[in-house]
Amino acid sequence: MKRTLEIGSYQTVWAILHRLRSVLIRPDRERLCGKVEVDETYIGGKESGLSGGRAKGKKILTCIAIEILEPKGFGRCRMAPVADASSESLHSFVVDNIEPGATVITDAWQGYRWLEKNGYIHDRRSQRAASARGEDLGELLPGVHRIASLAKRWLLGTHQGAVDSAHLPSYLDEFVFRFNRRRSRSRGMLFYRVLELAVAHGPVRYQDLVMSQSPKAVPPKPPRQRGHPPSLARPSPSRPWRQIPNSG
């Protein structure tokens, strides 16, 4: 984008992209309904010496919810980092993203025992029981496993895995925006939707995006040559014959 628009500062392009990512979620969007799978996954590199599947470590625990369509297929999804796998953290994610009365499909983790008391239909699937029956554990929650794999591959491929924890929510919002509109036939309408969301949200300042508010000890050197987008009214020096006719 920096090269295409001939913008002199990479910092400017970085701020533009993060401003757009910060407005991709509509505040009054509808919650998921019907049958919804919910699970957690860790985003980050491998760590040795962890005690169990939900041991915190340095990786970021992320909750995933995905609608299951009948007879097959997936609907909309939601993703958000959570502090831990406690009932309080899971309760906040489920209530914010799933409509009461929906069927919530989870594993046998104790942090989901409150679902039936809060107006949800809880479909509890035990990995231990499935393993004893000789069933494939990957088929218990196929939707969230698919979303987790796609999101991690997208972060690793597009962003080379270099996603800071402070900006991970924005990257997940971008993935959810893209996934939920994967069947859109008009790419121009997606761009229109981004502009519409940008206008509907409040202003996002650069100081709201950076992690450190303190100035750098050594100020960065400005670019030697500042680029500007080529003007349509000014022909290229190598093509003087491409003059725009006088409208008068």
Kindly report the pTM of this predicted structure: 0.77
The predicted model gives 25-49 an average pLDDT of: 86
Query: CA-to-CA distance for 55 and 84, rounded, in angstroms?
Result: 9
Domains and CATH numbers, the chain: 35-46+55-164 (3.30.420.10)
pLDDT band at 1 (very low <50, low <70, confident <90, very high): confident
**Whether pLDDT at 118 is above 50:** yes
Q: What is the pLDDT of residues 3-22, one digit of tens each?
A: 888 888 888 888 888 888 88
**Whether pLDDT at 113 is above 50:** yes
Q: What is the pLDDT of residues 153-184, one digit of tens each?
A: 999 887 777 777 888 899 999 999 999 999 88
Query: CA-to-CA distance for 58 and 64, rounded, in angstroms?
Result: 19
The predicted model gives 92-109 an average pLDDT of: 96
Q: Of the spans 91-105, 156-170, 229-243, which averages the highest pLDDT?
A: 91-105
Q: Is 78 left (phi over 0), alpha (psi -120 to 50) or beta?
A: beta
The predicted model gives 50-66 an average pLDDT of: 75
**Do 75 and 68 contact (CB within 8 A), yes or no?**
yes
- pLDDT, averaged across the chain: 84
